[in-house]
Every structure is written in structure tokens, then in C-alpha cells.
Amino acid sequence: MIRVMALYGASTEYVLHSLIWLVENTDPVSSLDLAELQDIPGAFMAKLMPKLEKAGIVIASDGLRGGYSLARPAHEISILSVVDAIEGRKNLFNCQEIRGRCALFSDAPPRWATQGVCGIHAAMLRAEQAMRHELAQTTLADQAGLVRDKAPPQFIDEAQSWFEQRLKTRRVGAVRKNKSREKKTISGGYHE
């Protein structure tokens, strides 16, 4: 089996799939809920979401109902902006100018061999530009629409219900935690 090295890693895949759920959700969603829904590491997602916040793709809200929401409409957020926020601007190809290193040149490459832009580098630059153009033209709204069109309507409803239940559980869990703290404080056994 031949393994191909990916330009973009799992981080990009995790984040893009997660952001699709934010398109459909009006309430903020925790990074842990996004991770658990998709069976990806929660700590990993928690590290990725601040990158998106810094890039202006999501906004974070604190508190019991806190989590992440899209910072602007999904049709204004390109896949390219997400990729660049997570991965940074990566070049598809890094030309090493080996065209001038041919053993037949005896360490003195002729002008014709090194003149102008390397043809391989030029082809790779065109491919990179085409890829970036495509990613810039595709939005989160486009991707969410593909999921809506592909999935049965009850799946979208089940996912929405799942998020709502998680939000309720967070509220109840926090209330229980606070009552426990109050009891400990009242009895003198708890101090922060």
C-alpha cells in the first residue's frame, strides 16, 4: 500500500466537520459536545477552537450555556479561511532548485538549466492557486447544505435534539455541582 502524505491534517478535518454543526445550531455548542458527537478527542478540539476564535470564525461565550457559535453567517465563511486558521498558510510545494544540481554539470550549471522559473515549481504553483481558489469559493453553508441534502431529515432533528439534551445536562450538572459546593461551604468544609 502506498501512503501519501497529506498537506492538511486531522485538525482541519475535525474542525470542518464540527463547524458544519454550528451552522445548524443557534445556541452555542461546547467543544466537548462537538468532539463527543463525532468521536474525536475532546482535548484536541478544545485546543483547536481558540484558533478559529482568533481568526474571527467563531465566537466563544462563557457560562452554563457557553460554547462556540459562528462569528458571521455560514455563507461568509470560506473553507480556505478555516484551513488557514488551523494550519497556517502552507505551500503545496517547496522547490529545492535541484535542476541546477545535475551531475553532468560538474558544479557549474549552464544558464539554460536554471533560467526562469523551474517548470515543476510553476506547475505546482498553478495547482496550489487552483486549490486555494476552490477552497475560497466553497463555504460552510455549502458544506452544511450537502449534509442536509444527503442525510434523512430525522438525522438532522436527532442531532439537534442531541445538542439540546447535552445543554440541559450541562445545566443540571452545574446546578448539582453548585449545590454540593454550597453544602461544603455551609458546613465549613469547602474553601476556594
Residue 125 contacts by C-beta under 8 Å, 6 or more apart in sequence? Answer: 92, 93
Closest CA to 124 of 83, 160, 92, 102: 92
162: domain range? Answer: 10-90+139-186
Query: Is there a domain that residue 55 lies in?
Result: yes
Residue range 124-144, pLDDT digits in tens: 999 999 999 999 999 999 999
Handedness of CA 149, 151, 152, 156 (dihedral sign): negative
Residue 176 lies in a domain: yes
The reply to whether 18 falls in a domain is yes
Does residue 102 lie within any of the structural domains?
Answer: no
What 3-state DSSP class applies to 152? Answer: coil
For 81-100, how does the pLDDT look when each residue is reduced to its tens digit (9 = 90+)? 999 999 988 787 888 888 88
CATH of the domain at 77: 1.10.10.10
Domains identified in the chain, total number = 1
* Exposed/middle/buried for residue 191 (C-beta within 10 Å: 0-12, 13-18, 19+): exposed
Helix (H) or strand (E) holding 155: helix 153-186
pLDDT at 169: 81
* pLDDT score for 26: 81
Per-residue pLDDT band at 3 (split at 50, 70, 90) = low
**pLDDT, average across residues 173-179:** 44
Query: Could you report the per-residue pLDDT of 28-58, keeping only the tens digit for each?
Result: 999 999 999 999 999 989 999 999 999 999 9
For residues 19 and 141, the answer to whether their CB atoms sit within 8 Å is: no
Residue 67 bridge partners (DSSP): 61
Is 113 part of a structural domain of the chain? no
Residue 187 pLDDT level (bands cut at 50, 70, 90): very low
Q: Please tell me which residue, 7 or 184, carries the higher pLDDT value.
A: 7
